[in-house]
Structure 1
Amino acid sequence: MNASPRRKELTRLAAQLFVQEGFDRTTVRMLAQEMGIKSGSLFHHFKDKQEILAAVIEEGTQNALHIARQTLERSTPSPEDRLRAMARAHLETLFTDRNAHVVALFEWRRLDAESRAHLSHLRDAYEALWVDVIDEALEADLIHGDRFLVSRFVLGALNWTVRWYDPSGPRSPDDLADELVAMIMPQSR
């Protein structure tokens, strides 16, 4: 997809509006007004509202994948360190690019089949990083359980923080990540 600075800015503004109004309630007129352009000018940058939604989710998912990969490259090989690093990276992504991630979490089902097919590889690549880290932690006997259930539990818990966590509150994102990892590790450690 086109990655011009103007399109990126429009995508960021669309993400904000989709979070505030929801995808279905957001009109092309509302998007154009938020972006400070005429409705017709919007189609210079995007084919339709569906393409805007796909652009928001694509940018957010690429950002999450980039942060996660960088974090794992800098992490020690310790399975516990890698698990903590991934939890911290996930929270960093959620809090630095919150709107795009809220849209990806809550509006994914609104994507048309073509857009879902186009974006699934990014989501799958991100989830594969988590599966690798969880597999390492399971093999090291740091955590127990079914890989699928553990990964869904961890990602679900981290994703839900966008609804209740206050970054200016008493707990830092690192504290939050450490708490989550501590919750899934056996107490006997």
Structure 2
Amino acid sequence: MNASPRRKELTRLAAQLFVQEGFDRTTVRMLAQEMGIKSGSLFHHFKDKQEILAAVIEEGTHNALAIAKRSLDESPPSPEARLRAMARAHLETLFTDRNAHVVALFEWRRLDDSAKAHLSHLRDAYEALWVQVIEEALAAGLIHGDRFLISRFVLGALNWTVRWYDPAGPRTPDELADELIAMIMPAR
């Protein structure tokens, strides 16, 4: 991925437009207008609209991985603390890089096969962090059930917050993460 500041800015603007309009309804002309450049200039930075979509998802996934790894590094080593750290990191990703994350969630299916193949390792690396933390919590008896189902349930619940959570509402993202994790742990 070309990490030039200009390309990053263009990618950020594209993510915003993809969220507002959807990938399919967003035209190259709309992207260029949003970015403040001529349509032809867009192709100086990207091969096509598909590459822009892949860049948005790649950037967002790199950010999510960095936030999650940092959170785990800074977390106390207990399985419960690590589980809460991952939930908090996931919500931090959603709320600090919302557009890229929403695009990754709702437009992944629009990627062509080569982009999916290229980006799958990043998605898999992120999910592997979750699997590791969930396995630790299972081994410690903090949660019970099937690892795969728990990971899908937790990620699904956290991802869906982009639809309903109000950052100006009564719960902070950390409180929300703690409450969602508490829901999967048996009462003590």
The alignment's TM-score, normalised by the length of structure 2, stands at 1.00
- How far, CA to CA, are the matches of 2:77 and 2:37 in structure 1? 49
- Code of the aligned partner of 2:5: P
Helix, strand or coil for the counterpart of 1:169?
A: coil
Structure 2, unpaired ranges of 5+: none
- Code of the aligned partner of 2:75: S
Pair 1:12 & 2:19 matched: no
Structure 1, unpaired ranges of 5+: none
Counterpart residue number, 1:165: 165
1:39-118 equivalent positions in 2, closer than 5 A? 39-118=39-118
- Code of the aligned partner of 1:160: W
- Code of the aligned partner of 1:129: L
Counterpart residue number, 1:25: 25
Q: 1:30 Cα shift?
A: 0.3
Counterpart residue number, 2:177: 177
Q: 1:168 Cα shift?
A: 1.1
- How far, CA to CA, are the matches of 2:152 and 2:180 in structure 1? 13
Counterpart residue number, 1:131: 131
1:136-163 CA distances to partner (integer Å, 9 max, x unpaired)?
A: 0000000000000000000000000001
- How far, CA to CA, are the matches of 1:118 and 1:183 in structure 2? 35
- How far, CA to CA, are the matches of 1:181 and 1:18 in structure 2? 31
1:135-146 equivalent positions in 2, closer than 5 A? 135-146=135-146
RMSD: 0.4
The alignment's TM-score, normalised by the length of structure 1, stands at 0.99
- How far, CA to CA, are the matches of 2:146 and 2:83 in structure 1? 16
Counterpart residue number, 1:155: 155
- How far, CA to CA, are the matches of 1:81 and 1:14 in structure 2? 36
- Code of the aligned partner of 1:170: P
Helix, strand or coil for the counterpart of 1:24?
A: coil
- Code of the aligned partner of 2:19: V
Structure 1 residue ranges (4+ consecutive) displaced by more than 2 angstroms after TM superposition: none
Q: 1:61 Cα shift?
A: 0.2
